[in-house]
Every structure is written in C-alpha cells, then in structure tokens.
Structure 1
C-alpha cells in the first residue's frame, strides 16, 4: 500500500476540518429554529423533495455509467481514438 504524502495528509486534515465545521453549523442552525413547528404539508414537501432529488441523481448516474459502458461516449468524441497514456 502506498504511503500518503504530506500534501495528501494536509488535504485530508482540511477536509475533515471542513466536515466538522459544517456539522457544527448544521447543529447550530437546527437549534436556532427554537420552537417553530413544521406542518404536515411541510414534512410531506420535505420528503417528496428528498425522494425526487435522490431519484433524479441516481437516474443520471445510472445513465452516465450506461453511456460509458455501451460505447456512446466513444462515438461522441472522435479525438479519443489514439493510444491512452498509462496510469501512474
């Protein structure tokens, strides 16, 4: 297994810090709402919005993978026909 370089460790630390900062912000924003109650229609809208966002996201990802596997991307980009450089 390859060891992580100093720049990769720094990047990982910054990303973990941003994740923690986002979590703290989310908890603070949630608690600042106080005693505000969401109606039944609000919960329905939140649930439907979440469901359809996930449905569209998963559908687009599935179409992207299908397009890549079926060769449609190769037909659309004629400049990729040359030899591919090796991965390092």
Structure 2
C-alpha cells in the first residue's frame, strides 16, 4: 500500500510507535555518549584551569546564548510580520494610450 507521494505507508500504528521509540533510544544513547565523553575530557587531566579560563568559558557561553536567542527572535519576528513571504510582482497600471483609446483633447 502506498500513499499519495508514492511512499510506502506504515501498515499500522505499531510500526510508527516502534520507529518513534527507536529514534528516542538512539538519541538517548547519543546523549549518554556525549555526557561520558564530556566527563572523561573534563576529569582525565590534572591541569588546573585559572580563574580567567573559567571567566572566558562563562562569557563565551553567555555570548553564544545571546546570539542564538537574538537570531531566533529575528526569525520569529520576520515570520510574524510577513517578511518571509515570497515576492509578488505588482503590475504597473496601464495608461489609457496603451489601451487603444485616444486621449481626449
């Protein structure tokens, strides 16, 4: 059975639930891996980070958050105000001489 796009349609609700849980499981596994790598990278060395390093880290994270929030705000603003709509050609009004009419004088 295919849908209107020619793609095979799921045979039942069980297949879509299984796929959804599979995606969630893969994403959770990736999250656990990222946390494990972060932990190992942070605590695998005995080098002490100076206070200026922590300050730079905090300022970098804050700057990144401000830029991200600002850009997302602009995306939502432009979408709500209609700036993201496709361009529309507005035809120029025709003059009377172009319509085949003579100008009254």
TM superposition score category, shorter chain reference? 0.7 to 0.9
**Equivalent in the alignment of 2:30:** 18
Q: Is residue 45 from structure 1 mapped to residue 56 from structure 2 by the alignment?
A: yes
- Give 5+ residue unaligned stretches, structure 1: 80-88
**1: distance between equivalents of 2:81 and 2:49?**
46
TM-score by length of 2: 0.64
So what's the TM-score if we normalise by structure 1? 0.75
Matched, 1:5 2:17: yes
* Residues paired across the two proteins, number: 75
Q: Tell me if 1:70 matches 2:70.
A: no
Q: Give 4+ residue runs of structure 1 displaced > 2 Å after superposition.
A: none
Deviations 1:15-56 (A, max 9, x none): 11111111111111111122x111122122111111111100
Distance 2:41 2:70 in 1: 31
Q: Which one has a bigger Cα radius of gyration?
A: 2
